[in-house]
A and B are shown apart, each in its own frame.
Chain A
Amino acid sequence: MKPSPFIYHRPGSIEEAVQLLESLGDAGKVLAGGQSLIPLMSMRLAAPANLVDINHLAELDTVEVTDAGVRVGATARHSRVERDQAAYDAIPLLRQALENVAHPTIRNRGTTVGSLVHADPSAEMPAVLAMLDGTVELRSTAGTREVAADEFFLGPMESATRGGEIAVAATFRRPPAGTGSTFVELARRHGDYAMCGVGAMVTTDSDDAITAARVALISVGAGPVLVDLTEAITGSGGGFTDAAVRDLVDAQIDPEDDIHASADYRRNLAHVLTVRALDQARERSVRTRRDERVA
Chain B
Amino acid sequence: MTTETLVKVSLTVNGAPREMEVPARRLLSDALRHDLRLTGTHVGCEHGVCGACTVLVDGQPTRSCLVFAVSLEGSEITTVEGCCKPGGAMGPVQQAFQDCHALQCGFCTPGFITTITAYLEENENPSKEEAREAISGNLCRCTGYQNIVAAVQRAAEIKRGDDA
| Chain A interfacial positions (CB closer than 8 Å to B) | 1-8, 10, 31, 34-35, 38-39, 41-43, 51, 53, 55-56, 79, 102-106, 108-109, 190-191
Query: Which residue of chain A lies nearest to B5 when distances are taken between CB atoms in the complex?
Result: A7
Give the docked Cα–Cα distance between A77 and B5 (Å).
30
**Among B4, B46, B47, B67, contact of A109 (Cβ-Cβ < 8 Å):** B67
Task: Report, nearest first, the 3 A-B pairs whose CB atoms are least far apart.
Answer: A103-B137, A8-B24, A1-B46
B72 CB, min distance to chain A CBs, angstroms: 8
- Chain A residue numbers with a CB within 8 Å of B12 are none
- Chain B residue numbers with a CB within 8 Å of A8 are 7, 24, 68, 70
Interface SS, B side: mixed
- Chain A residue numbers with a CB within 8 Å of B40 are none
Interface SS, A side: loop
Given contact pairs A38-B67, A42-B46, A105-B62, enumerate 5 new A-B contacts (beta carbons under 8 Å): A34-B68, A41-B25, A42-B65, A105-B54, A105-B115
Task: State how many residues of chain B have any CB contact under 8 Å with chain A.
Answer: 30
B56 CB, min distance to chain A CBs, angstroms: 9
A105–B61 touching, CB < 8 Å: yes
B69 CB, min distance to chain A CBs, angstroms: 10
B47–A42 touching, CB < 8 Å: yes
B155 within 8 A of A: no
B57 CB, min distance to chain A CBs, angstroms: 8
Give the docked Cα–Cα distance between A43 and B45 (Å).
11
Give the docked Cα–Cα distance between A86 and B51 (Å).
31
A53–B62 touching, CB < 8 Å: no
A105–B137 touching, CB < 8 Å: yes
B73 within 8 A of A: yes
B62–A109 touching, CB < 8 Å: yes
**Among B7, B54, B66, contact of A38 (Cβ-Cβ < 8 Å):** B66
User: Chain B, 11-47, contact with A by CB distance < 8 Å: what is the 0/1 string?
Assistant: 0000000000001110100100000000000000011
Q: If A8-B24, A105-B54 touch, does A34 touch B71 (CB 8 Å cutoff)?
A: yes
**Among B25, B73, B115, contact of A6 (Cβ-Cβ < 8 Å):** B25
B134 within 8 A of A: yes
15 contacting pairs across A/B (C-beta < 8 A): A1-B46, A2-B25, A5-B4, A6-B24, A6-B25, A7-B5, A8-B70, A42-B27, A42-B46, A104-B137, A105-B51, A105-B61, A105-B63, A106-B63, A108-B57
